Amino acid sequence: MEKLTIVKVGGKIVEDPQSLKQLLSDFSKIEGYKVLVHGGGRSATAMAAKLGIESKMVNGRRITDEEMLKIVTMVYGGLVNKQIVAGLQAIGVNALGLTGADLNYMRSEKRPVTDVDYGFVGDVKEVNAVILVDLIAKGVVPVLAPLTHDKAGNLLNTNADTIAGEAAKALSNDFEVTLMYCFEKKGVLLNEGDDESVIPILTSELFEQYVSDRVIQGGMIPKLENSFEALNKGVKRVLITRADQIHTNKGTQIKL
């Protein structure tokens, strides 16, 4: 099978013109087929503030009411996505920006209300990769915004890590997929205070131990759970790394 690399980058990188330019250049140097998944939370929060709308977060996740859904649709699907697409085209990468509604490639359902009502947030239910696979094989590079749809006319806000994981699993039927989650550190750290203490290989066994020892905590836990899930579902390789290392293969490699 041909190789495909899926890179997920957060808002911080893609929202600053200089770091975005560097990222797109590094991304373009990755060999083989490619997919880029982006966030944009900071821009959404900033836009909401400009419009006098308060961003509500619970457990680090955004509450997406009707007004906020319009904002994330504009910011993720329009501003951030299209600036990335135009930036990639400028360096010869044939990018195509997509939300889950486009080509109906990712369908979700509105998250049920439990103790928290997250609002218009989608849990992914179905990935239709057929046309996507065809486009990728033609050299097209999908740029995925963190938005899905319910196929009943509603767009839904969806975590970019989840989008990347679900796309990686679905594309593993046709490609040998490497999934790279980028964040602000060079990899998963053994010692939070030491940026150089990157764990080179993290097995599920080590992961469990580090979680019980509280070496790994907070938002890194769901990211790593997503990673093991992806490996279990056919993704060949998962790397947690910093955006400026994506063309170097450095970082923490996740292994079952």
Q: What residue ranges bind a copy of itself (CB under 8 A)? A: 47, 50-51, 70, 73-79, 81-83, 85-87, 89-90, 94-99, 101-104, 131, 134-135, 138, 140, 147, 149, 151-155
243: phi then psi, degrees, rounded to nearest 5: -55, -35
Instruction: Give the SS3 label for residue 124.
Output: strand
Distance from C-alpha of 197 to C-alpha of 124, rounded to nearest angstrom: 34
CB of 172 to a copy of itself, least distance (A): 23
Residue type at position 28: S
Comparison of 134 and 195: residue with beta carbon closer to a copy of itself: 134
Distance of CA 9 to the CA centre of its chain: 6
CB of 22 to a copy of itself, least distance (A): 13
Return the structure tokens found at 111: 């998250």
Comparison of 51 and 221: residue with beta carbon closer to a copy of itself: 51
Distance from C-alpha of 50 to C-alpha of 47, rounded to nearest angstrom: 5
Comparison of 123 and 225: residue with beta carbon closer to a copy of itself: 123
CB of 79 to a copy of itself, least distance (A): 5
CB of 186 to a copy of itself, least distance (A): 28
- Report H helices in the chain: 11-14, 17-28, 41-50, 66-72, 81-90, 130-137, 160-171, 204-212, 220-232
Comparison of 13 and 224: residue with beta carbon closer to a copy of itself: 13
CB of 93 to a copy of itself, least distance (A): 10
Task: Select from 69, 223, 84 the least CA-distant residue to 155.
Answer: 69
Question: Beta 61-62 vs 57-58: how paired, if at all?
Answer: antiparallel
What is the torsional sign of CA 176, 144, 15, 9? negative
Q: What is the arrangement of strands in the sheet containing 252-255, beginning at the earlier edge strand?
A: 95-98, 141-144, 33-38, 3-9, 176-183, 237-242, 252-255, 201-203
CB of 99 to a copy of itself, least distance (A): 5
CB of 83 to a copy of itself, least distance (A): 7
Comparison of 57 and 86: residue with beta carbon closer to a copy of itself: 86
